[in-house]
Structure 1
Amino acid sequence: MSRAVSVTSRLSAPRSPEKAGAGVASELGDLPRWDLSALYPGMDSDAYRADFDSIEGRCADFADAWRGRIATLAGDASGPGELDRAIRAFETISETLGRIMSYAGLIYFGDTSAPAHAKFYGDAQERATAASAHLLFFQLELNRLDDAAWGRLRNSPELAHWRPWLDDMRKEKPYELSDDLERLFHEKSVTGVSAWNRLFDETIAALRFEIDGASLSIEPTLNLLQDAAPEKRKAAAAALGKVFSDNIRTFTLITNTLAKDKDISDRWRGFSDVADARHLANRVEREVVDAMVAAVRDAYPRLSHRYYRLKARWFGKEQLDYWDRNAPLPKAAQRTIGWDEARDTVLSAYGEFTPEMERIARRFFDENWIDAPVRPGKAPGAFAHPTVPSAHPYVMLNYLGKPRDVMTLAHELGHGVHQVLAARQGALMAPTPLTLAETASVFGEMLTFRRMLDAAPPQERKVMLAAKVEDMINTVVRQIAFYSFERKVHEARRQGELTSEQLAAFWLEVQEESLGPAIRLGDDYGVWWAYIPHFIHSPFYVYAYAFGDCLVNSLYGVYQNAREGFAERYLEMLAAGGTRHHSELLAPFGLNAADPAFWQIGLGMIEGFIAELESLPD
């Protein structure tokens, strides 16, 4: 249960690819590949071997030094100082483990099809899991202190620096098990959750889709769904549906196994609702999430139903086929945006907001912290990975030169800036709950969009507004529909194994509800749940996108109305990392996510964009 000793690589879940058609490589310019030497010089480097060889002994030595001693510290005058020393040693070990697993994870996701990379990652997981098992006692013993003893330590001056981490840890106390059970869960993860995640990743990477005589991987195939040519969109949808169907037994087995594994864990730990473990990890109250979900679902007719009805009219139809949902507008100019232009666009938007944000973001380009090209075996989508405070974050993209790729770059750089600023909190307190982690990324998108919109000639404004509305629908409506699908899956799995047909029925039900009558969904669309990585890697992650988007819309409204001092408060919020609750972080902006009316502010911005589109000539 301990978050601090997790040895899984803290990669944010890959962003779902909702992007445009494949560009021509020569038009993109020189796309960067990341330089991982800030972590280790190479897979066979002396530095990597030395860290791994030492970490196993350091974990065991830590256990020998501190196991069984925590209960006595609260009663000793020297106890707080001793505990400070123990936490500092714990953080140093956690940072080394994080460095090892960050490197192994980035190597693996750079090419999941390479057997050597898969073995490297798998071996790292096994060894790091075994080593970190020695650390599990630390949080468990701290949380077993009674409230009086805990309070004496927690309030001592010597531990003032660690107070946010200690408070955060205490929230997990009701859900922790015995030492032996925690160790069993921890060690079995290598052959359980982690193994099934790898099977999913490697299966997805190996899929090939035959279109017009070409054999494509999943990323360029998904991108064809936004090609200007209707026949290409339809062909891509047919190929995706066929290959997903051909592999549906594997995806169904993976989903059933992971949902059952989660059910077992939830029952043992005492979580009553299927999403409660995610809410705890996100440090957000169930009532806040429920209020957001209810607000978004209630807004479906005013948002997605209304927009897709408008889009169908633009295409001269009553309904759009599902493969035309993200089609470019009729007669919309299509152009490829080169890498240099994308970089300059994002940096200028960030710089206009505050020079400090641009300065941090520029380092990602100048120091090779980005991996941008599409290539066989590379993980689909995009992510930003903070690695460890003593190094720096890395961003992975699959850049194809379309406007949404620029938005994805802005999104991931928002994560990256956040991660750089939060690193000053140290390995234990830098990690940010997903809900707030998505705030920085979506804010970066909004800054970039607003700058591009302001610079656009009148004839391009409609295209840009429509693209932004579609992005917001994908971020808010689609992600809440995904959350609804996951709830159905995990609740039904408690009653028994699910068939592919049941999963398809759940999927079609939530898609019909969220997209509305202007989108025609065929039975062949029932298998499209299978490729969504969030369902596999991070159950119930998806609502964090909607949380972040609605929150950013509200934040941006504050920024528009009172810019003086906003950037400083915003950067301070990001620099807090995981040290403060969302209510504390939003208070300086006059925002309160616990207020049900709060969510209407963000949803209202989307409605405003749709209304503007309705006022424009067809």
Structure 2
Amino acid sequence: MGIGSESSPVRAPDETAGQETAALPRWDLRSVYTSFDAPEYSRDKELIEKKAGRLLDLLSEPMPANGEEAADYILSLIHAYEEAGDIGENLEAYASAVFTTDTGSSRALNEVNALETLLLPLGKAIVTFRSKLAAEKEKIFSFLENDPRYKPYVFFLREAIAKAEYQMAPEMEDLANDLARSGGDAWGRLQEAISSSADTLWDRNTGERKTVIALRDLAHNPDRMVRRRAYEAELGVWKSMEIPMAAALNGVKGTAITVDKRRGWKTALEKSLFQSRISGKTFLALIASLENSLPMFRQYLKTKAKILGIDSCAFYDLFAPVGTSGKKWTWDEAKEFIIRHFASFDSGMGIFARHAFEFSWIDAEGRNGKVGGAYCTDFPLTGESRILCNFEGSFDSVTTVAHELGHAWHHELIKDLPRTQSSYPMTLAETASIFAETVVFEAAMKEAPAAERLGLIEGSIKDSCQVIVDILSRFYFERELFQRREKGELSPAELCDIMTEAQKATYGGGLDETLLHPYMWAVKGHYYSPALAFYNYPYAFGQLFSLGLYAKAKEEGPGFADSYRTLLRETGRSSAEQVARLAGFDLEDTAFWDSGMAVIRQRIAEFEDLANPAK
């Protein structure tokens, strides 16, 4: 689907007062494909079959004995892999974009399913490609050392050979990919369909119904009674859907456990660290920093409770507004603000953002059948991106747009690189997005009237609380889920218990432990990807890494923009540790993560001062 944001619940404008839905844009996909019936779409479907077949034919040929011919042969494999991969990604991204804005479309769902079938030969070819590289690794390593043509492919080839150690025989991988269409992937689509459409009666007098997306939006309502009512209604919806949702989660995790074991992974976490391109030491340093920060966030939540005039915050108070409500942003105001402040950091970044707005790259209108949340997806054949969000006029929604535009800017900087040098991991995927979000937040803090500063800074801390505290709770939940799922399926009650215990372990005394959210396992689609377990800690990684980069940008001034571009271009051809070293950071040292956390600590201190002006 693309790279998504992780912040407060995303709102559906068509169910939120105060914003003209008609004024909000829908994206224009016609430069990619005009429709599923377009000749270009049919052409690329035929082309991917030919390209995947060509790659398989090449792979069936024996490795030439002659050294120069062997080097040429491997390069031909790489180029064939790149061509087929780009076409396949373009098709998948388009079908997913159409489906996620209209999950009730049977045509879109059929196309998603058809592409999964169509791309099976490419999946087989990729597995065979890695196996061939591993079998000839001594020759490959010789080429890397002696043939200058191989210099751009050093990281890709070494990683591909390492991946080959964790895959089954090609025919078994082919079977696993085929079964995934009606197995783990289908369970994931079930969660997506339910979470985008499940609703409940809200107003008996008018017959108004609200989806769970709209109910979660009401967590931002200034009236605590409304927040609590929405929270209880949301839990009721999830309760009514808990059996299919639990079946989906058990199916996804059961699939992942079975297939990962066959591939040789000891645990899902081991696989996740490999996918994230980070060492175990980096991961432990990050988690230690998150855990050390918990008292700071609990104190923040206690201060928030005092401001709200309550004994302690409930889960439905996490997004309650604090301070003045601030301005209601129009789409045009958000657009110009983002463009102006992107440009203040890097003129090219501002020009790019204006292009994205003016050429309808953003789908901001909330509507029934459109998924919640936000994401950015890329189309390699056109070199373009598209952004899905649900804009409703708050500053949170402004920063969400900035976040996703950060992802798009990242893609813009690497779109000229082949896919063997531009495929970056989740950990580094959040770098550009959170950096862009920070640029916009810091600008807003400088320009806001004194009366609005409390609300703005609390909004930033609130989002950090989600990315640090809630993300850690989700990591704890998923770790426990994998351990238990190995022994058998879990009931909805067990899943709720695990989630509640994870929230208690992280939020601690910061929240009322009788008013948590036991169904967060059903809310978050990140749990429902068989291929990407632990789709959580990379957000915390991205937040703290980006804060470190932003601090460095302030220290170095305008010249940092060029260094930042260089760093982003390396994200697809280096480990996370290597990329960080370009900025002078040591990811395996807890002190680095603590330095990023210090930026949040400073914001919390300012929040405390603003909340207690007489202190």
Q: 1:519 aligns with which of 511, 521, 540?
A: 511
Distance in 1 between residues matched to 2:482 and 2:169, nearest whole Å? 26
Measured after TM superposition, the shift of residue 569 of structure 1 is 0.3
Match of residue 152 from structure 2:
161
Q: SS in structure 2 opposite 1:275?
A: helix
Q: Is the 8 A contact 1:21 1:225 kept in 2?
A: no
Change (3 A) 1:204 1:12: same
The aligned counterpart of 2:54 is 61
Range with bigger deviation, 518-527 or 112-121: 518-527
The Cα offsets for residues 578-613 of structure 1, whole Å up to 9 and x where unpaired, read as 012222222232211111211110111111111111
Instruction: String of CA shifts for 1:543-594, please: whole Å, max 9, x gaps.
Output: 1110011111111221222225211100111123401222222223221111
Aligned to 1:136: 127
The structure 1 residue matched to 2:498, chosen from 503, 506, 510, is: 506
Q: Which amino acid aligns with 2:97?
A: L
Equivalent position to 1:326, from 307, 319, 331: 319
- Once the two structures are overlaid, the 10-residue window that deviates more, 583-592 or 434-443, is 583-592
Q: Residue 28 and residue 375 in structure 1: after superposition, are their counterparts in 2 closer, same or farther (change >3 A)?
A: closer
- Please give the alpha-carbon distance, in whole angstroms, between the structure 1 residues aligned to 2:513 and 2:231: 12
Answer yes or no: is 1:152 the counterpart of 2:142: yes
Q: Does 1:47 align with 2:40?
A: yes
Pair 1:32-2:25 in alignment: yes
2:248 alignment counterpart: 254
Q: Following TM superposition, by how much is the alpha carbon of 1:109 offset from its aligned partner in structure 2, in angstroms?
A: 0.8
CA distance in 2, matches of 1:151, 1:20: 51
Offset of residue 280 of structure 1: 1.1
Deviations 1:381-403 (A, max 9, x none): 00001221533111101111111
Aligned to 2:263: 269
1:562 alignment partner AA: E
Instruction: Specify whether residues 221 and 55 from structure 1 end up closer, same or farther in structure 2 by C-alpha distance, changes over 3 A only.
Output: same
Tell me which residue corresponds to 2:199: 208
**1:92-111 correspondence to structure 2 within 5 Å:** 92-111=83-102
How far residue 82 of structure 1 moved from its aligned partner, in angstroms, is 2.5
How does 1:184-583 map onto structure 2 within 5 Å? 184-213=175-204, 214-302=208-296, 304-329=297-322, 332-388=324-380, 390-522=382-514, 525-537=517-529, 538-583=532-577
Indicate if the aligned counterparts of 2:51 and 2:83 stay in contact, CA closer than 8 A: no
What SS is found at the alignment partner of 1:393? strand
Distance 1:437 1:65 in 2: 33
RMSD: 1.9
Is the contact between residue 383 and residue 415 of structure 2 (CA under 8 Å) also seen in structure 1? no
In 2 relative to 1, CA 504–604 (structure 1 residues): closer, same or farther, beyond 3 Å? same
In terms of mean alpha carbon deviation, does 83-92 or 350-359 score higher?
Answer: 83-92
Asked if 2 retains the 8 angstrom alpha-carbon contact of 1:20 and 1:402, the reply is no
> Match of 1:85?
76
CA distance in 1, matches of 2:85, 2:582: 32
1:31 CA drift (Å): 1.4
Secondary structure of the structure 1 residue equivalent to 2:581? helix
Measured in 2, the distance between the counterparts of 1:51 and 1:533 equals 29
Change in CA separation of 1:215 and 1:576 when aligned onto 2, cut-off 3 Å: same
TM-superposed CA distance for 1:114, in Å, is 1.6
- Partners of 1:136 and 1:179 within 8 A in 2: yes
CA deviation digits over 1:139-170, x for unaligned, max 9? Answer: 22112224x22212333223223223212212
Map of 2:597 onto structure 1: 603
Distance in 2 (CA, whole Å) between partners of 1:368 and 1:333 is 29
1:181 to partner: Cα distance: 1.5
Matched AA of 1:352: S
Amino acid paired to 1:62: L
Deviations 1:360-412 (A, max 9, x none): 22211111111110011011100001221533111101111111001101110
Deviation per CA, 1:238-261, whole angstroms, max 9, x where unpaired? 110000011111111111111111
| Cα contact 1:205–1:217 (8 A) shared by 2 | yes
Aligned AA (2:309): G
Shift in CA distance, 38/431, structure 1 to aligned 2, threshold 3 Å: farther
Cα separation, partners in 2 of 1:470 and 1:118, compared to 1, 3 Å: same
Question: Offset of 1:27 from its aligned partner?
Answer: 4.1
- Quote the residue 1:12 is aligned against: 3
Q: Secondary structure at the match of 1:24?
A: coil
Q: State how far apart, in whole Å, the 2-side matches of 1:372 and 1:458 are.
A: 30
What do the CA deviations read for 1:459-485 (whole angstroms, capped 9, x no partner)?
Answer: 111111111110111112211211111
The normalised TM-score by structure 2 is 0.94
Q: Provide closer, same or farther for how the CA distance between residues 21 and 110 of structure 1 changes in structure 2, counting only shifts above 3 A.
A: closer
Q: Give the letter aligned to residue 316 of structure 1.
A: G
Report the AA paired with residue 402 of structure 2.
A
Match of 1:616, SS? helix
SS at structure 2 position matched to 1:437: helix
Determine the C-alpha separation between the residues in 2 that align with 1:275 and 1:292. Answer: 14
* Higher alpha-carbon deviation: 87-96 or 14-23: 14-23
**Gapped regions of structure 1 (runs ≥ 5):** 1-8
In 1: Cα distance, 2:599 partner to 2:534 partner: 25
Q: Distance in 1 between matches of 2:157 and 2:115?
A: 29
